[in-house]
Structure 1
Amino acid sequence: METANQHRRDFIKTAAIGSLTGLTLLSACNDNDDEEDQKVSPPEDLMQEHGLLNRVLLIYDHCKGLLIDKQGFPMEALLNSAGIIRTFVEDYHEKQEENYLFPRFQKANQLTDLVQTLLAQHKAGRTITDELMQLTKSQNLTDTEKQQLITLLNNFNRMYRPHEAREDTILFPAFRKIVSHHEYDALGEEFENNEHKLFGKNGFEGMVEKVAGIEKSLGIYELARFTPGT
Protein backbone atom coordinates (compact mmCIF):
# COMPACT_ATOMS: atom_id res chain seq x y z
CA MET A 1 0.00 0.00 0.00
CA GLU A 2 2.81 2.35 0.95
CA THR A 3 4.54 1.57 -2.32
CA ALA A 4 1.40 2.44 -4.28
CA ASN A 5 1.04 5.74 -2.41
CA GLN A 6 4.68 6.54 -3.07
CA HIS A 7 4.21 5.87 -6.77
CA ARG A 8 1.18 8.14 -6.81
CA ARG A 9 3.10 10.92 -5.03
CA ASP A 10 5.98 10.54 -7.47
CA PHE A 11 3.57 10.73 -10.41
CA ILE A 12 1.90 13.89 -9.08
CA LYS A 13 5.30 15.48 -8.44
CA THR A 14 6.51 14.64 -11.93
CA ALA A 15 3.30 15.93 -13.49
CA ALA A 16 3.55 19.17 -11.53
CA ILE A 17 7.15 19.71 -12.61
CA GLY A 18 6.18 18.96 -16.19
CA SER A 19 3.33 21.46 -16.03
CA LEU A 20 5.57 24.17 -14.62
CA THR A 21 8.19 23.48 -17.27
CA GLY A 22 5.53 23.63 -19.96
CA LEU A 23 4.20 26.91 -18.63
CA THR A 24 7.71 28.35 -18.54
CA LEU A 25 8.36 27.30 -22.12
CA LEU A 26 4.97 28.63 -23.20
CA SER A 27 5.69 31.95 -21.51
CA ALA A 28 9.06 32.15 -23.21
CA CYS A 29 7.45 31.38 -26.56
CA ASN A 30 4.84 34.06 -25.96
CA ASP A 31 7.58 36.56 -25.09
CA ASN A 32 9.38 35.69 -28.31
CA ASP A 33 6.13 36.01 -30.24
CA ASP A 34 5.59 39.46 -28.73
CA GLU A 35 9.09 40.49 -29.79
CA GLU A 36 8.46 39.17 -33.30
CA ASP A 37 5.14 41.03 -33.46
CA GLN A 38 6.89 44.29 -32.52
CA LYS A 39 9.47 43.98 -35.28
CA VAL A 40 8.77 46.07 -38.36
CA SER A 41 9.71 44.59 -41.72
CA PRO A 42 11.59 46.76 -44.26
CA PRO A 43 8.54 47.23 -46.56
CA GLU A 44 6.27 47.96 -43.60
CA ASP A 45 8.74 50.56 -42.35
CA LEU A 46 8.91 52.23 -45.75
CA MET A 47 5.13 52.15 -46.19
CA GLN A 48 4.63 53.86 -42.82
CA GLU A 49 6.93 56.59 -44.07
CA HIS A 50 4.82 56.83 -47.22
CA GLY A 51 1.91 57.63 -44.92
CA LEU A 52 3.85 60.59 -43.59
CA LEU A 53 4.74 61.62 -47.14
CA ASN A 54 1.05 61.52 -48.05
CA ARG A 55 0.24 63.91 -45.24
CA VAL A 56 2.81 66.36 -46.60
CA LEU A 57 1.33 65.95 -50.08
CA LEU A 58 -2.01 66.93 -48.56
CA ILE A 59 -0.38 70.06 -47.14
CA TYR A 60 1.03 70.81 -50.59
CA ASP A 61 -2.43 70.37 -52.13
CA HIS A 62 -4.00 72.66 -49.56
CA CYS A 63 -1.40 75.39 -50.02
CA LYS A 64 -1.67 75.12 -53.80
CA GLY A 65 -5.42 75.66 -53.53
CA LEU A 66 -4.92 78.72 -51.35
CA LEU A 67 -2.44 80.15 -53.84
CA ILE A 68 -4.85 79.57 -56.73
CA ASP A 69 -7.65 81.24 -54.76
CA LYS A 70 -5.28 84.09 -53.84
CA GLN A 71 -5.72 83.46 -50.12
CA GLY A 72 -2.94 84.10 -47.67
CA PHE A 73 -1.33 81.51 -45.39
CA PRO A 74 1.88 81.33 -43.33
CA MET A 75 4.61 80.62 -45.88
CA GLU A 76 6.73 78.96 -43.19
CA ALA A 77 4.19 76.12 -43.18
CA LEU A 78 5.17 75.34 -46.75
CA LEU A 79 8.87 75.92 -46.07
CA ASN A 80 8.79 73.58 -43.07
CA SER A 81 6.91 70.96 -45.07
CA ALA A 82 9.54 71.09 -47.81
CA GLY A 83 12.16 70.79 -45.08
CA ILE A 84 10.57 67.54 -43.88
CA ILE A 85 10.52 66.26 -47.44
CA ARG A 86 14.21 67.09 -47.74
CA THR A 87 15.46 65.69 -44.43
CA PHE A 88 13.15 62.73 -43.84
CA VAL A 89 11.89 61.68 -47.26
CA GLU A 90 14.73 62.50 -49.64
CA ASP A 91 17.82 62.32 -47.43
CA TYR A 92 16.63 59.35 -45.36
CA HIS A 93 13.67 57.38 -46.75
CA GLU A 94 14.79 57.51 -50.37
CA LYS A 95 18.40 56.83 -49.41
CA GLN A 96 17.22 53.66 -47.67
CA GLU A 97 15.57 52.58 -50.90
CA GLU A 98 18.58 53.55 -53.00
CA ASN A 99 21.14 51.91 -50.72
CA TYR A 100 19.31 48.74 -49.68
CA LEU A 101 16.42 47.91 -52.01
CA PHE A 102 17.26 49.12 -55.50
CA PRO A 103 20.73 47.47 -55.70
CA ARG A 104 19.24 44.12 -54.69
CA PHE A 105 16.61 44.33 -57.42
CA GLN A 106 19.30 45.24 -59.94
CA LYS A 107 21.51 42.37 -58.78
CA ALA A 108 18.57 39.96 -59.07
CA ASN A 109 17.68 41.47 -62.46
CA GLN A 110 14.13 42.03 -61.22
CA LEU A 111 11.95 45.11 -61.88
CA THR A 112 14.98 46.96 -63.24
CA ASP A 113 12.97 49.29 -65.48
CA LEU A 114 10.80 50.29 -62.53
CA VAL A 115 13.87 50.88 -60.37
CA GLN A 116 15.40 53.15 -63.01
CA THR A 117 12.21 55.20 -63.21
CA LEU A 118 12.02 55.48 -59.42
CA LEU A 119 15.63 56.66 -59.29
CA ALA A 120 14.97 59.28 -61.95
CA GLN A 121 11.93 60.49 -60.01
CA HIS A 122 13.94 60.73 -56.79
CA LYS A 123 16.35 63.02 -58.63
CA ALA A 124 13.52 65.09 -60.11
CA GLY A 125 11.87 65.39 -56.70
CA ARG A 126 15.04 66.78 -55.14
CA THR A 127 15.26 69.41 -57.84
CA ILE A 128 11.68 70.47 -57.13
CA THR A 129 12.36 70.58 -53.39
CA ASP A 130 15.40 72.80 -53.96
CA GLU A 131 13.21 75.28 -55.84
CA LEU A 132 10.39 75.06 -53.30
CA MET A 133 12.71 75.79 -50.40
CA GLN A 134 14.23 78.72 -52.22
CA LEU A 135 10.87 80.29 -53.12
CA THR A 136 9.23 79.77 -49.73
CA LYS A 137 11.96 81.64 -47.87
CA SER A 138 10.19 84.84 -48.87
CA GLN A 139 6.91 86.02 -47.35
CA ASN A 140 6.26 88.44 -50.21
CA LEU A 141 6.10 86.54 -53.47
CA THR A 142 5.34 88.20 -56.77
CA ASP A 143 2.47 86.88 -58.87
CA THR A 144 5.00 85.19 -61.13
CA GLU A 145 6.67 83.48 -58.17
CA LYS A 146 3.31 82.34 -56.83
CA GLN A 147 2.53 80.78 -60.19
CA GLN A 148 5.92 79.07 -60.13
CA LEU A 149 5.09 77.74 -56.67
CA ILE A 150 1.73 76.39 -57.86
CA THR A 151 3.47 74.60 -60.73
CA LEU A 152 6.12 73.10 -58.45
CA LEU A 153 3.57 71.83 -55.93
CA ASN A 154 1.45 70.36 -58.70
CA ASN A 155 4.41 68.64 -60.35
CA PHE A 156 5.68 67.18 -57.10
CA ASN A 157 2.32 65.70 -56.10
CA ARG A 158 1.51 64.51 -59.60
CA MET A 159 4.76 62.52 -59.63
CA TYR A 160 4.89 61.24 -56.08
CA ARG A 161 1.39 59.81 -55.76
CA PRO A 162 1.90 57.23 -58.55
CA HIS A 163 5.54 56.87 -57.48
CA GLU A 164 4.72 55.69 -53.98
CA ALA A 165 1.75 53.65 -55.22
CA ARG A 166 4.03 51.61 -57.49
CA GLU A 167 6.47 51.06 -54.65
CA ASP A 168 3.72 49.99 -52.24
CA THR A 169 1.96 47.64 -54.65
CA ILE A 170 4.80 46.28 -56.80
CA LEU A 171 8.31 46.93 -55.48
CA PHE A 172 7.87 46.36 -51.75
CA PRO A 173 5.82 43.14 -52.05
CA ALA A 174 8.44 41.73 -54.44
CA PHE A 175 11.34 42.55 -52.12
CA ARG A 176 10.60 39.63 -49.80
CA LYS A 177 11.08 37.23 -52.70
CA ILE A 178 14.61 38.30 -53.60
CA VAL A 179 16.27 38.21 -50.16
CA SER A 180 16.71 35.50 -47.55
CA HIS A 181 14.65 35.42 -44.37
CA HIS A 182 17.72 36.32 -42.32
CA GLU A 183 18.64 39.25 -44.57
CA TYR A 184 15.05 40.46 -44.54
CA ASP A 185 14.96 40.55 -40.73
CA ALA A 186 18.42 42.09 -40.46
CA LEU A 187 17.48 44.91 -42.81
CA GLY A 188 14.45 45.74 -40.69
CA GLU A 189 16.70 46.21 -37.68
CA GLU A 190 19.21 48.21 -39.71
CA PHE A 191 16.49 50.53 -40.99
CA GLU A 192 15.37 51.19 -37.43
CA ASN A 193 18.94 51.82 -36.25
CA ASN A 194 19.55 54.25 -39.11
CA GLU A 195 16.37 56.13 -38.27
CA HIS A 196 17.34 56.53 -34.62
CA LYS A 197 20.88 57.62 -35.50
CA LEU A 198 19.57 60.42 -37.70
CA PHE A 199 16.45 61.53 -35.84
CA GLY A 200 16.81 60.31 -32.26
CA LYS A 201 14.79 57.72 -30.40
CA ASN A 202 11.45 59.26 -31.45
CA GLY A 203 12.43 59.14 -35.12
CA PHE A 204 9.34 58.58 -37.22
CA GLU A 205 6.96 59.51 -34.40
CA GLY A 206 8.75 62.84 -33.98
CA MET A 207 8.33 63.60 -37.67
CA VAL A 208 4.63 62.75 -37.48
CA GLU A 209 4.28 65.30 -34.67
CA LYS A 210 5.98 67.95 -36.80
CA VAL A 211 3.64 67.27 -39.70
CA ALA A 212 0.65 67.41 -37.35
CA GLY A 213 1.82 70.81 -36.11
CA ILE A 214 1.91 72.15 -39.67
CA GLU A 215 -1.54 70.71 -40.37
CA LYS A 216 -2.89 72.46 -37.28
CA SER A 217 -1.36 75.77 -38.34
CA LEU A 218 -3.23 75.48 -41.65
CA GLY A 219 -6.49 74.25 -40.10
CA ILE A 220 -6.42 70.85 -41.81
CA TYR A 221 -5.49 68.58 -38.91
CA GLU A 222 -8.96 67.28 -38.05
CA LEU A 223 -9.71 64.23 -40.17
CA ALA A 224 -13.47 64.79 -39.98
CA ARG A 225 -13.21 67.93 -42.12
CA PHE A 226 -12.49 65.73 -45.13
CA THR A 227 -15.72 63.77 -44.77
CA PRO A 228 -18.16 64.75 -47.56
CA GLY A 229 -21.14 66.72 -46.31
CA THR A 230 -19.44 68.00 -43.15
Structure 2
Amino acid sequence: MQDRRSFLTKSGILLASGAALLTSCEEKDGDEDVSTNEDLMREHGVLKRILLIYDEAANRLTSGNDLEIALVGQSAQLIKTFIEDYHEKLEEDHLFPRFEKAGQLVDLVKTLRIQHEKGRILTQRVIAATRKQQLTEAERAAVAGDLRWFIRMYSPHEAREDTVLFPALHKLISKHEYDSLGEDFEKKEKQQFGGDGFDMAVDHVTAIEKKMNIYDLNLFTPPV
Protein backbone atom coordinates (compact mmCIF):
# COMPACT_ATOMS: atom_id res chain seq x y z
CA MET A 1 0.00 0.00 0.00
CA GLN A 2 2.85 2.35 0.87
CA ASP A 3 4.54 1.64 -2.47
CA ARG A 4 1.27 2.37 -4.29
CA ARG A 5 0.84 5.68 -2.43
CA SER A 6 4.45 6.59 -3.15
CA PHE A 7 3.97 5.80 -6.81
CA LEU A 8 0.78 7.87 -7.06
CA THR A 9 2.44 10.77 -5.26
CA LYS A 10 5.43 10.71 -7.55
CA SER A 11 3.17 10.34 -10.60
CA GLY A 12 1.17 13.35 -9.51
CA ILE A 13 4.34 15.39 -9.18
CA LEU A 14 5.52 14.27 -12.61
CA LEU A 15 2.15 15.05 -14.18
CA ALA A 16 2.07 18.48 -12.55
CA SER A 17 5.62 19.16 -13.70
CA GLY A 18 4.76 18.02 -17.20
CA ALA A 19 1.71 20.26 -17.32
CA ALA A 20 3.75 23.21 -16.10
CA LEU A 21 6.41 22.52 -18.72
CA LEU A 22 3.79 22.27 -21.46
CA THR A 23 2.21 25.54 -20.37
CA SER A 24 5.63 27.19 -20.32
CA CYS A 25 6.36 25.97 -23.87
CA GLU A 26 2.98 27.15 -25.11
CA GLU A 27 3.56 30.58 -23.60
CA LYS A 28 7.00 30.73 -25.16
CA ASP A 29 5.61 29.72 -28.56
CA GLY A 30 3.01 32.43 -28.25
CA ASP A 31 5.69 35.08 -27.81
CA GLU A 32 7.73 35.39 -30.99
CA ASP A 33 11.40 35.01 -30.14
CA VAL A 34 13.47 36.58 -32.92
CA SER A 35 17.25 36.78 -32.68
CA THR A 36 19.21 39.93 -33.53
CA ASN A 37 20.45 38.67 -36.90
CA GLU A 38 17.11 37.11 -37.82
CA ASP A 39 15.43 40.42 -37.10
CA LEU A 40 17.88 42.33 -39.31
CA MET A 41 17.80 39.76 -42.13
CA ARG A 42 14.01 39.55 -42.34
CA GLU A 43 13.98 43.34 -42.61
CA HIS A 44 16.32 42.84 -45.56
CA GLY A 45 13.60 40.59 -46.95
CA VAL A 46 11.26 43.58 -46.99
CA LEU A 47 13.95 45.59 -48.77
CA LYS A 48 14.39 42.84 -51.39
CA ARG A 49 10.67 42.96 -52.16
CA ILE A 50 10.79 46.73 -52.56
CA LEU A 51 13.78 46.36 -54.90
CA LEU A 52 11.59 44.06 -57.00
CA ILE A 53 8.91 46.76 -57.09
CA TYR A 54 11.58 49.30 -58.07
CA ASP A 55 12.81 47.05 -60.88
CA GLU A 56 9.32 46.58 -62.31
CA ALA A 57 8.58 50.30 -61.98
CA ALA A 58 11.84 51.27 -63.73
CA ASN A 59 11.03 48.94 -66.62
CA ARG A 60 7.54 50.39 -67.01
CA LEU A 61 8.82 53.96 -66.78
CA THR A 62 11.31 53.48 -69.61
CA SER A 63 9.09 51.29 -71.79
CA GLY A 64 6.14 53.68 -71.61
CA ASN A 65 3.87 51.06 -70.02
CA ASP A 66 1.14 52.14 -67.63
CA LEU A 67 2.27 52.74 -64.07
CA GLU A 68 0.49 54.34 -61.15
CA ILE A 69 3.34 56.65 -60.19
CA ALA A 70 1.98 57.05 -56.65
CA LEU A 71 2.90 53.41 -55.99
CA VAL A 72 6.56 54.26 -56.63
CA GLY A 73 6.28 57.13 -54.18
CA GLN A 74 4.69 54.86 -51.57
CA SER A 75 7.50 52.34 -52.02
CA ALA A 76 10.13 55.04 -51.60
CA GLN A 77 8.35 56.35 -48.50
CA LEU A 78 8.43 52.83 -47.04
CA ILE A 79 12.15 52.69 -47.76
CA LYS A 80 12.52 55.94 -45.84
CA THR A 81 10.42 55.05 -42.79
CA PHE A 82 11.19 51.36 -42.37
CA ILE A 83 14.64 50.90 -43.91
CA GLU A 84 16.43 54.24 -43.60
CA ASP A 85 14.88 55.76 -40.46
CA TYR A 86 14.62 52.45 -38.59
CA HIS A 87 16.68 49.52 -39.91
CA GLU A 88 19.70 51.55 -40.97
CA LYS A 89 19.59 53.61 -37.79
CA LEU A 90 19.85 50.37 -35.80
CA GLU A 91 22.93 49.44 -37.81
CA GLU A 92 24.48 52.89 -37.49
CA ASP A 93 23.78 53.26 -33.76
CA HIS A 94 24.34 49.72 -32.51
CA LEU A 95 26.30 47.62 -35.01
CA PHE A 96 28.75 49.84 -36.90
CA PRO A 97 30.23 51.49 -33.75
CA ARG A 98 30.96 48.07 -32.24
CA PHE A 99 32.96 47.00 -35.30
CA GLU A 100 34.74 50.35 -35.49
CA LYS A 101 35.67 50.25 -31.80
CA ALA A 102 37.00 46.69 -32.18
CA GLY A 103 38.91 47.61 -35.35
CA GLN A 104 37.14 44.88 -37.32
CA LEU A 105 35.62 45.15 -40.82
CA VAL A 106 36.31 48.88 -40.64
CA ASP A 107 36.59 49.35 -44.42
CA LEU A 108 33.34 47.49 -44.99
CA VAL A 109 31.53 49.56 -42.35
CA LYS A 110 32.87 52.77 -43.92
CA THR A 111 31.47 51.77 -47.31
CA LEU A 112 28.14 50.75 -45.80
CA ARG A 113 27.84 54.14 -44.10
CA ILE A 114 28.56 55.97 -47.36
CA GLN A 115 25.98 53.86 -49.19
CA HIS A 116 23.37 54.65 -46.55
CA GLU A 117 23.96 58.35 -47.24
CA LYS A 118 23.77 57.88 -51.02
CA GLY A 119 20.61 55.82 -50.66
CA ARG A 120 18.89 58.58 -48.71
CA ILE A 121 19.70 61.07 -51.46
CA LEU A 122 18.15 58.77 -54.07
CA THR A 123 15.10 58.12 -51.89
CA GLN A 124 14.44 61.84 -51.41
CA ARG A 125 14.72 62.41 -55.16
CA VAL A 126 12.25 59.62 -55.91
CA ILE A 127 9.77 60.86 -53.29
CA ALA A 128 9.97 64.42 -54.63
CA ALA A 129 9.61 63.36 -58.26
CA THR A 130 6.65 61.06 -57.67
CA ARG A 131 4.51 63.72 -56.02
CA LYS A 132 3.28 64.56 -59.52
CA GLN A 133 0.45 62.53 -61.02
CA GLN A 134 1.95 62.72 -64.50
CA LEU A 135 5.63 62.78 -65.45
CA THR A 136 7.25 63.94 -68.66
CA GLU A 137 9.34 61.49 -70.64
CA ALA A 138 12.51 63.06 -69.24
CA GLU A 139 11.17 62.85 -65.67
CA ARG A 140 10.20 59.19 -66.16
CA ALA A 141 13.71 58.44 -67.36
CA ALA A 142 15.24 60.29 -64.39
CA VAL A 143 13.15 58.40 -61.84
CA ALA A 144 13.90 55.09 -63.56
CA GLY A 145 17.60 55.93 -63.40
CA ASP A 146 17.44 56.65 -59.67
CA LEU A 147 15.54 53.42 -59.03
CA ARG A 148 18.14 51.40 -60.94
CA TRP A 149 21.01 53.08 -59.09
CA PHE A 150 19.31 52.20 -55.82
CA ILE A 151 18.83 48.57 -56.88
CA ARG A 152 22.42 48.30 -58.12
CA MET A 153 23.79 49.59 -54.81
CA TYR A 154 21.50 47.87 -52.32
CA SER A 155 21.51 44.36 -53.81
CA PRO A 156 25.22 43.83 -52.99
CA HIS A 157 24.94 46.08 -49.92
CA GLU A 158 22.44 43.87 -48.12
CA ALA A 159 24.08 40.69 -49.40
CA ARG A 160 27.41 41.75 -47.89
CA GLU A 161 25.75 42.55 -44.57
CA ASP A 162 23.93 39.20 -44.52
CA THR A 163 27.00 37.12 -45.36
CA VAL A 164 29.84 39.07 -43.70
CA LEU A 165 28.80 41.73 -41.19
CA PHE A 166 25.90 40.04 -39.39
CA PRO A 167 27.63 36.65 -38.98
CA ALA A 168 30.72 38.42 -37.57
CA LEU A 169 28.59 39.98 -34.85
CA HIS A 170 28.44 36.64 -33.03
CA LYS A 171 32.22 36.63 -32.63
CA LEU A 172 32.39 40.29 -31.69
CA ILE A 173 30.04 40.34 -28.70
CA SER A 174 29.00 37.95 -25.94
CA LYS A 175 25.84 35.88 -26.11
CA HIS A 176 24.31 37.98 -23.34
CA GLU A 177 25.03 41.21 -25.21
CA TYR A 178 23.75 39.66 -28.44
CA ASP A 179 20.47 38.63 -26.80
CA SER A 180 20.10 42.04 -25.12
CA LEU A 181 20.62 43.72 -28.48
CA GLY A 182 17.72 41.76 -29.96
CA GLU A 183 15.48 42.80 -27.07
CA ASP A 184 16.50 46.44 -27.55
CA PHE A 185 15.66 46.21 -31.27
CA GLU A 186 12.23 44.81 -30.47
CA LYS A 187 11.49 47.61 -28.00
CA LYS A 188 12.67 50.23 -30.49
CA GLU A 189 10.45 48.75 -33.20
CA LYS A 190 7.35 48.88 -31.00
CA GLN A 191 8.14 52.44 -29.90
CA GLN A 192 8.73 53.70 -33.42
CA PHE A 193 5.80 52.00 -35.15
CA GLY A 194 3.34 51.49 -32.31
CA GLY A 195 3.41 47.74 -32.87
CA ASP A 196 5.12 45.15 -35.05
CA GLY A 197 6.81 47.31 -37.68
CA PHE A 198 7.92 44.29 -39.69
CA ASP A 199 4.36 42.97 -40.11
CA MET A 200 3.15 46.46 -41.02
CA ALA A 201 5.90 46.81 -43.65
CA VAL A 202 5.13 43.38 -45.14
CA ASP A 203 1.43 44.27 -45.38
CA HIS A 204 2.29 47.55 -47.11
CA VAL A 205 4.63 45.87 -49.59
CA THR A 206 2.06 43.18 -50.32
CA ALA A 207 -0.60 45.79 -51.07
CA ILE A 208 1.71 47.58 -53.54
CA GLU A 209 2.69 44.31 -55.23
CA LYS A 210 -0.97 43.41 -55.70
CA LYS A 211 -1.80 46.82 -57.18
CA MET A 212 1.09 46.43 -59.62
CA ASN A 213 0.03 42.84 -60.42
CA ILE A 214 3.38 41.36 -59.41
CA TYR A 215 2.34 39.64 -56.19
CA ASP A 216 1.85 36.14 -57.69
CA LEU A 217 5.16 34.32 -57.25
CA ASN A 218 4.36 32.10 -60.25
CA LEU A 219 4.91 35.12 -62.50
CA PHE A 220 8.65 34.81 -61.89
CA THR A 221 8.95 31.12 -62.81
CA PRO A 222 10.77 30.78 -66.16
CA PRO A 223 9.02 28.81 -68.96
CA VAL A 224 11.75 26.17 -69.29
Q: TM-score with structure 2 length normalisation?
A: 0.92
Structure 1 partner of 2:193: 199
Query: Taking structure 1 as reference, are residues 162 and 144 closer, same or farther at Cα in structure 2, changes over 3 Å only?
Result: same
1:15 corresponds to 2:5: no
Q: How does 1:1-230 map to 2 (within 5 A)?
A: 5=1, 7-20=2-15, 22-24=17-19, 26-27=21-22, 30=25, 34=29, 38-229=32-223
- Which residue identity is paired with 2:188? N
Structure 2 gap segments, 5+ residues each: none
How much identity, in percent, do the aligned residues show?
46
- For 1:167 and 1:115, the matched residues in 2 are separated by 9
Residues 35/102 of structure 1: CA separation in 2 closer, same or farther (3 Å cut): farther
1:219 match: secondary structure: coil
| Alignment RMSD (CA, Å) | 2.0
Deviations 1:145-196 (A, max 9, x none): 2221121111000000000000001111111111111111111111111111
Residue type matched to 1:183 in 2?
E
What residue identity is the alignment partner of 1:39?
A: D
Q: CA–CA distance in 2 between the matches of 1:11 and 1:72? A: 79
Is 21-30 or 57-66 further displaced after alignment? 21-30
Structure with max Cα Rg: 1
CA distance in 2, matches of 1:127, 1:100: 23
Moved over 4 A (4+): none
The answer to whether the 8 A contact 2:82-2:197 is kept is: no
Contact 1:39 1:188 in 2 (8 A): no
Secondary structure of the residue aligned to 2:135 is coil
Distance, in Å, in 1 between the alignment partners of 2:137 and 2:28 is 59
Q: Tell me the secondary structure at the aligned position of residue 140 of structure 1.
A: coil
Quote the Cα distance in structure 1 between the aligned partners of 2:123 and 2:117: 10
Letter in 2 for 1:20: L
Tell me if structure 2 keeps the 8 A contact 1:64–1:153. Answer: yes
Deviates more, 1:163-172 or 1:106-115: 106-115
Q: Post-superposition shift, 1:55? A: 0.7
Number of residue-to-residue matches in the alignment: 224
TM-score by length of 1: 0.90
